[in-house]
């Protein structure tokens, strides 16, 4: 059993900056990942994964 709470129950780290919107390519990559997993829309985990991709080439990385 993991001692860490899931991401949606954790507070934002104090060192984090203001949240930034996903680029169009990051949104497309998150949506593609969600569809591959059988979900209609990306969830928090898909979006968190997409934020770690390069901002300009996120769609290419997800394939």
pLDDT of residue 55: 76
Q: What share of the chain in percent tops pLDDT 90? A: 51
pLDDT tens figures, 9-38:
988 878 777 778 899 999 999 999 999 999
How far apart (Å, rounded) are the C-alpha atoms in residues 49 and 39? 15
Q: Name the average pLDDT for the chain.
A: 85
Q: Structural domain boundaries of the chain?
A: 21-61
**Residue 58: pLDDT band with limits 50, 70, 90:** low
How far apart (Å, rounded) are the C-alpha atoms in residues 27 and 53? 11
- Please provide the DSSP assignment of 10-57 as one string: SPPPTT-----PPPHHHHHHHHHHHHHTT-SS--HHHHHHHHTS-SSS
């Amino acid at each position: 059993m993991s001692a860490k709470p899931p991401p949606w129950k954790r507070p934002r780290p104090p060192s984090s900056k203001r949240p930034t919107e996903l680029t169009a390519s990051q949104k497309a990559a998150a949506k593609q990942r969600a569809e591959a997993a059988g979900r209609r829309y990306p969830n928090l985990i898909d979006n968190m994964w997409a934020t770690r991709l390069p901002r300009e080439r996120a769609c290419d990385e997800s394939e």
